[in-house]
Amino acid sequence: MCGRQAETLQFQQWIENREHWPLLEGHMHNNSGLPGPRANLELAAGFAQYFADADIPDTAWALLCSWVDAPGEFLPFCAVQACGAHYANADEERRCLVESMLKAAMNDARWRVREAAAIGLQSIGESDFRLLADLLDGWRKDAALLEQRAFVAALAHPPLLKNRNHVLYALDLAAEITDGILHGAVKDCEPEHFRVLSRGLEYSLSLFAAAEPEEGFALLRRLAESGDVRMIRIVKCNLGKTRLSKKHPDRVRELLAGLTTV
């Protein structure tokens, strides 16, 4: 039995027996990598993988729900990812609960929990992109800034961008978000929330443009020509990514030449 299979079996034994939950929590905390600069992403992914199944017993579901609201960072980080992993196989009742958990996590004050929400959305998209698109379509009209950041971060996921239709969807959503910024949608919003959204846009647009250069550079050009200093900063950050500067140097130079200095 390989290491990953053994870990999965151990997770199953601990998760499905309430008496073993303290052992599992101790294992997760001791191997979390926190406090530190990098959480144990592999451990979190292994935990989430257990839930990528339709046949999750009530005991395991109860553990997941309790961890979503747990103090600290690592247990919620793992649980929110697991919610996304379970979504495609969940029944209607659990799907509704997962949606609420993901939305709460997108708006959480802890940046790792917000990141887990984006990873959870990526899991949904990898299982069935239509499910992800339906979710985002239901949320995007009234989405808060931190939710918008989760959307673009989720879509800026290379496995999702292998399909042209997925990239076009991502570009359409990014255009909607940036148009909202240009038309005053962020006027009275929390500055820190706008900063977080901007940071997400500063790299995600380059991934979309690398996957679909014609449409992607058209969006970057439109944002650059807006003259808005916020958009210019976002465009410059994306043009500085090697995924664009190495593969499309002429397009990048052309756009940079026309940008107002920020």
Nearest of 37, 193, 185, 35 to residue 109 by alpha carbon: 193
**For position 258, what pLDDT does the model report?**
87
- pLDDT tens readout for residues 156-174: 999 999 999 999 999 999 9
Nearest of 74, 19, 21, 78 to residue 45 by alpha carbon: 78
Between CA 75 and CA 255 the distance in angstroms is 44
Contact criterion met (CB below 8 Å) for 80 and 44:
no
pTM for this structure?
Answer: 0.95
Nearest of 199, 235, 201 to residue 217 by alpha carbon: 235
Nearest of 45, 54, 74, 57 to residue 14 by alpha carbon: 57
Is pLDDT of 110 > 70?
A: yes
Contacts of 196 (CB under 8 A, 6+ apart): 111, 114, 145, 146, 149
- pLDDT tens readout for residues 25-77: 999 999 999 999 999 999 999 999 999 999 999 999 999 999 999 999 999 99
Would you tell me how many other CB atoms lie within 10 Å of the CB of residue 62?
Answer: 13
Domain residue ranges of the chain, discontinuous segments joined by +? 1-127, 143-262
